Structure 1
Amino acid sequence: MTASTEPAPAGSPSGPDIATLVQEDRVDISLYTDPELFELEMDRIFNRTWVWVAHESEIPNAGDFRTSMVGRQPVIVTRDRRGGINVLLNRCRHRGASLCEAPRGNANGFTCPYHAWSYALDGKLRGIPYPDGYEDVLEKKDFPLHRLKVDSYAGMIFASFNPDVEPLADFLGPARHWMDLFMKQGAGFPVKVQGEHKFRFNGNWKIQLENTTDGYHFPIVHRSWMSSVDSETAEMLSFMTDEKAVTHSLGNGHSVMVMVPEHVDLDEDDGTEQLQGRFGHIVEELSRDYEPAQVRRIVRSMHGAGFNLNLFPNVAMSMAFFRVLRPLSATETEIRHMALGLDGGPEIVNRERLRIHEHFQGPFGFGSPDDSEAWDRVQRGAAAGPGVPIMVNRGLSREQDDSKGRVAHATDETGMREAYAMWKAMMTDVR
């Protein structure tokens, strides 16, 4: 296929049809800059589809909660006394004050700090101070917290404001297979969130959405990280010319980029892969309590899965961490990086996984600062040449169909094309 050389037409919700802003090989720059488009995205995407809100390991016990966001709306994710998971709008039904400001914790319920209306873990209104003023005015059963539709898969909790949203299993589709593979990095233990850090960058949320399955940037943007690690790790992630390093489109905006093909399924091990020398002290300690096969299984999983899985619109399951994006405005985004470990697994392994995470992520890491600088530069460049489109045409001529969807090399922009096809479908209400 020969791509057109004419720029995509500029436009906004009040100008040309939104459908013209996304073409097969390019997208209009207004997708990064237009505040009106951003407001439509909040309504047509974040308020209508499944949005990731938490991992089940963050709320393992009755009364556990964590606060989260669905688009720009704050929510509380709770585990109630019956073990059920609830996602509640973080807004009192009386005068609208936020109920909970703590990022996580354990509680019997939630009480508004303004007038002390109190709610159960499932959102039911259970108490009102001085109720005599509400006689014949209010029935408590009529004023629960707003509950979002909620479902989970592979420990990943999703919520939606849309009561008619398609079943989560249908929305995830083929991505469920990759979610199952991703969780095998627990090496027989459940995967848990060990901690997180967050930061903001001055750019549109879709700039980051593109990044997770963009293998083209990796050896360029992350040169400093590649030069800081041992030769075995650098070689493992030198996938630029590996024919088995591919990107699959998975439908509904989801995509997966395989970087370490031999670690896609961590249960498959022919015994020929040599364990990295840097983990010798871990092998020595684990060997005191575990059989050699389990030691090998744990150590092979230290870097996580051999791929990045992008779940539209807001979460990536990226090798050994979750990356969660939160749109703030057309030109600002918040990112949370969540380190993963083995729930009940050896402490020496979880410590080492944290050190690996910190080496790439965080303000003192070698990866995140370089990524965020690149994202900032894309947004700054968006102010120049408003009629010049963003190109997403790499690998278009070598993209093929297979049983898992469209597939091309890991450096190709197949994942971006999949995400923008979903963006276009949702923004034009054609689903």
Structure 2
Amino acid sequence: MTEHSPGDLVSPDRVAGRLYTDPEIFERELTGIFERTWVWVAHESELPEPGTFKTAHIGRQPVIVTRDRQGVLHTLLNRCRHRGASLCEKPSGRANGFTCPYHAWSYGLDGTLRGVPYPQGYDGVFDRRELSLHRVRTEVCGGMVFATLAGDGEPLADFLGEAVPWIDRFFKQGGGYPVKVLGRHRFRYRGNWKIQLENTTDGYHFPIVHRSWMASVDAETADMMSFMTDPAAVTHDLGNGHSVMRMVPGHSDLDVDDGSEPLPSRFAGIAAELSQTLDPATVRKLVRAMHGTGFNLNLFPNVSLSSSFLRVLRPVAVDETEIEHIAIGPDGPPELDVVNRERLRIHEHFQGPFGFGTPDDAEGWDRVQRGVRAAPDMAILVNRGMARQATDPRGLPTSHVTDETGMRAAYGEWKRMMSDA
């Protein structure tokens, strides 16, 4: 049991290690954060047509995200209203509705209770209109589908705030085409969810943890990611726990292109193949975006738009977290297949289960969890760059890309939400 209130455990420049190890704090996070705020559950491309669905979680609560026959998106608690059995165990697919395997109560794609076997036993007992699946409030921004268990909370656009234009910029990497999910893989690490939350806008670790990856790529890619001493590479606190780390400022907005930047020579063959059917401007957009955008966007509490992929975290236990890495690419004519094959290979090289990046990151996260068991009230420092942090023209707290601005943003929102939970 914790002897501290959350407000005692988070300061502007440090947090107690107990935040990673205390089971009581973890349980309070599930109700005080994940069940009170907007949580990412899907990308619209995963639900392309009526009748498509995917399963997800809001904290530990299982949900089904569906597109009904009218094309409307719904998020439904994955729990039969009869005796509580889960309705769907598949990660995604197509369906006309959902039928409980226990007693065969059936529901429509919008959650409406459609059928009850042997209904005469319920005559005069209930009104089936009152026993639809629990619908979770759902909104979309830039193709990103979010849901919240807080029915009376703020609109999604207000919660995302300054992050909205960055979401729009991220999905410009389709090169003028819509963006779709290409593939995914899941894994778990033996550590608290906040350890990963810190990672996506932690530029300080990159050349240390990922030096093997830096040594494995071509010189052009390595040079592009050598941002440690670039004064233009900065991190912004976007408010509400969100932050963006601009590693390659010249690629922050892929629509801004004066044509002077040479295209990476490693993609010359792809450019030549695309040029057989596509105009030069489109080819340039697609090839220039092959590595994704020049930034990592952290959206509190559970999803990151990281350069060229999505990273989704799910808290499982105080010392266990599930991560899903989602590769994306342009959704268009068959000519784009060559682009998406290459994007998948790039993704596998860094984020894949046998890539250079994911194992190195996961080892670091595991070691943090092991280490904080020693003196759990000893401080975890998030003070790097505080003395040089300033306010940018938009009023956003800003410091160098190697500073811990993003972590301070996330813990500020954590403290606010946990203090009034």
Matches within 5 A, 1:3-402: 13=2, 15-345=3-333, 346-402=336-392
SS of 1:257 mapped into structure 2: strand
Partner of 1:405: 396
TM-score by length of 2: 0.98
Partner of 2:413: 422
One-letter identity of the residue aligned with 2:283: V
For the residues of structure 1 that align with 2:293 and 2:54, how far apart are their CA atoms? Answer: 26
| Structure 1 residue 387: Cα displacement | 3.1
| Structure 1 residue 272: Cα displacement | 1.3
SS of 1:170 mapped into structure 2: helix
Instruction: Provide structure 1 residue ranges, at least 5 long, that are not aligned to the other structure.
Output: 1-11
For the residues of structure 1 that align with 2:352 and 2:374, how far apart are their CA atoms? Answer: 30
For the residues of structure 1 that align with 2:374 and 2:229, how far apart are their CA atoms? Answer: 33
Deviations 1:126-152 (A, max 9, x none): 000000100001211010000101101
SS of 2:135 mapped into structure 1: coil
Deviations 1:16-63 (A, max 9, x none): 332010001000111000000000000010000000000000001000
SS of 1:281 mapped into structure 2: helix
One-letter identity of the residue aligned with 2:344: L
For the residues of structure 2 that align with 1:87 and 1:291, how far apart are their CA atoms? Answer: 40
TM-score by length of 1: 0.96
- The structure 1 segments of at least 4 consecutive aligned residues displaced by more than 6 Å after TM superposition are none
Contact 1:33–1:382 under 8 Å retained in 2: yes
One-letter identity of the residue aligned with 1:301: A
| Structure 1 residue 385: Cα displacement | 2.2
One-letter identity of the residue aligned with 1:216: Y
For the residues of structure 2 that align with 1:408 and 1:121, how far apart are their CA atoms? Answer: 46
| Structure 1 residue 293: Cα displacement | 1.5
For the residues of structure 2 that align with 1:222 and 1:285, how far apart are their CA atoms? Answer: 32
For the residues of structure 2 that align with 1:283 and 1:16, how far apart are their CA atoms? Answer: 58
Partner of 1:6: none
Cα root mean square deviation, aligned:
0.9
Instruction: Provide structure 2 residue ranges, at least 5 long, that are not aligned to the other structure.
Output: none
Contact 1:52–1:156 under 8 Å retained in 2: yes
Contact 1:263–1:305 under 8 Å retained in 2: yes
For the residues of structure 2 that align with 1:25 and 1:407, how far apart are their CA atoms? Answer: 15
Deviations 1:270-294 (A, max 9, x none): 1111111110110110110111111
For the residues of structure 2 that align with 1:24 and 1:189, how far apart are their CA atoms? Answer: 42
Contact 2:18–2:377 under 8 Å retained in 1: no
Contact 1:252–1:418 under 8 Å retained in 2: yes
Taking only the aligned residue pairs, the percentage that are identical comes to 65
| Structure 1 residue 262: Cα displacement | 0.9
For the residues of structure 2 that align with 1:17 and 1:55, how far apart are their CA atoms? Answer: 36
Contact 1:250–1:404 under 8 Å retained in 2: no
Contact 1:248–1:404 under 8 Å retained in 2: no
Contact 2:107–2:115 under 8 Å retained in 1: yes
SS of 1:316 mapped into structure 2: strand
| Structure 1 residue 429: Cα displacement | 1.4
For the residues of structure 2 that align with 1:129 and 1:142, how far apart are their CA atoms? Answer: 17
For the residues of structure 1 that align with 2:353 and 2:316, how far apart are their CA atoms? Answer: 21
Contact 1:91–1:99 under 8 Å retained in 2: yes
Contact 1:232–1:276 under 8 Å retained in 2: yes
SS of 2:304 mapped into structure 1: strand
For the residues of structure 2 that align with 1:361 and 1:414, how far apart are their CA atoms? Answer: 24
Aligned residue-pair number:
418
One-letter identity of the residue aligned with 1:29: G
For the residues of structure 1 that align with 2:47 and 2:76, how far apart are their CA atoms? Answer: 14
